[in-house]
Amino acid sequence: MLPKIEFLPSSEIKAFQQEKLSQQLHLLNGKSPFYKELFRKNHIDISRIKTLEDLANIPVTTKDDLQKHNDDFICVPRNRIIDYITTSGTLGDPVTFAMTDSDLDRLAYNEAISFAVADGSTDDTYQLMTTIDRRFMAGLAYFLGVRRLGAGIIRVGNGMPELQWDSIRRFHPNVFITVPSFILKLIEYAEEKGIDYRSSSIKKAVCIGEPLRNPDFSLTTLSRRISEKWDIQLYSTYASTEMGTAFTECRYGCGGHHHPELIIVEFLDENDEPVKPDEPGEVTITTLGVEGMPLLRFKTGDVCYHYNEPCRCGRTTMRLGPVLGRKQQMIKYKGTTLYPPALYDILDNIDNIVNYYVEVYTNAIGTDEIVIHIGSRLESEAFEKQIKDHFRARLRVAPQIIFEPAGYIEKTVNPEGGRKTVRFIDRRNK
């Protein structure tokens, strides 16, 4: 389950991708109403796009394009669509993705080789702690990937600490697939109920949705708190519905590994120009091997560093650094540029904070304002000052703090029927 291409010289990987790109362009020109029109309108002769560098001659695709022209991206007749998926709609209206039988096979292969990057094998049993329904791609992808890997899986779903621990007791899984902050809730539940979690069968966790590492690959406060409590191996992953591909860490924890069979990746600045190797850029992807809704130069909105030197695990593929933040969520606050993960890392490091969410709005003079809503065991001016002092020490600025009942915060952060934790609420004037 270890693709040979991930260990080849970069020149051979590039040649492979350029051949696949040519095939993808012909598919788009023949079957995608959106891209056929884009090529016509911009006088693009796809036969002249021969190298990865030539991609710069094609305009980028944005989330706005997907929302406005959703059906025009579909490249297959309706009777070939097997599964309908929607994005979470975190940054706008959800987008529908139509997947063929071949696309589901591709999704399974992607997750299988991603689990293999994270030392997965047929000897593992995974406890799936994300939803597999609600039109959600991730839960389905993980199930299909574990099945393709030949390992065992327990489909518990999200939440429900009592059922999670019952499943661990009954089936003895050794791997979680989960949002990492939920591991802390499992630990808290175990401590309350007298469960000896450190002696359980769990040895590692494939973590989704929240960063485990800072840009220098050191542990975030969240992952450090987990590791201090429970000696399990944590693997970070990054993926999105649009790319249908995951970037997963190996045991050395220095970035998510690129699967060049499945996706071409560029890193672009605000002018859609490639960034330098030591600069962060917006992750921009071209899918390979997708039938239903292939994408070309799609800007994900996520800003990352990338690394091209070989990894200690032997892979020669590009590695994707931790997500600094989403471009649309960038905050300009009192002259300082911030992304929400920087705020989360500070809050996760302060004792007596039970939960929180970050709200951003446009103030009377047209600039960004930050309010942090906190559920806490303490509510005092002294504790508020302590929180603000943490922010000043790390970021040089301190946002407004509002204490709220922890139960209210929980309902906001994990809304009923929601698919993802909501820690950031953007109320700025668009």
Tell whether the model's pLDDT for residue 90 goes beyond 70.
no
At residue 245, the pLDDT reads 95
Tell whether the model's pLDDT for residue 345 goes beyond 80.
yes
Distance CA 319, CA 283 (A): 12
Distance CA 258, CA 246 (A): 8
- Helix, strand, coil abundance in the chain, percent, nearest 5: 35, 25, 40
Check if the beta carbon of residue 254 is closer than 8 Å to that of residue 313.
no
What rounded mean pLDDT belongs to the chain? 92
Tell whether the model's pLDDT for residue 14 goes beyond 80.
yes
Mean pLDDT confidence for 160-186: 95
At residue 91, the pLDDT reads 53
Give the least confident one: 14-28, 243-257, 318-332, 350-364: 318-332
Write the DSSP string, 244-277.
TEEEE--TT-S-EEP-TTTEEEEEE-TTSPBPPT
Mean pLDDT confidence for 52-61: 96
- Per-residue pLDDT band for 92 (boundaries 50, 70, 90) equals low
**What percent of the chain has a predicted confidence (pLDDT) above 90?**
71
For the chain, the farthest-separated pair of C-alpha atoms sits apart, in whole angstroms, at 68
423: Cβ–Cβ under 8 A, 6 or more apart, which residues? 340, 344, 356, 357, 358, 413
pLDDT digits (tens, 9 = 90+) for 203-220: 999 999 888 998 889 998
Which of 271 and 394 is assigned the larger pLDDT? Answer: 271
- Per-residue pLDDT band for 70 (boundaries 50, 70, 90) equals very high
Bridge partners (DSSP) of residue 239 are 246
pTM of the model: 0.82
283: Cβ–Cβ under 8 A, 6 or more apart, which residues? 265, 267, 299, 300, 302, 303, 304, 320
Tell whether the model's pLDDT for residue 139 goes beyond 70.
yes
At residue 395, the pLDDT reads 85
Structure tokens at 66: 């997907």
Check if the beta carbon of residue 299 is closer than 8 Å to that of residue 284.
yes
Tell me the three-class secondary structure of 290-341, residue by residue: CCCCCCCCEEEEEEECEECCCCCCCCCCCEECCCCEEHHHCEEECCEEECHH
Structure tokens at 42: 């911009």
Strands (E), 42-111: 83-86, 96-99
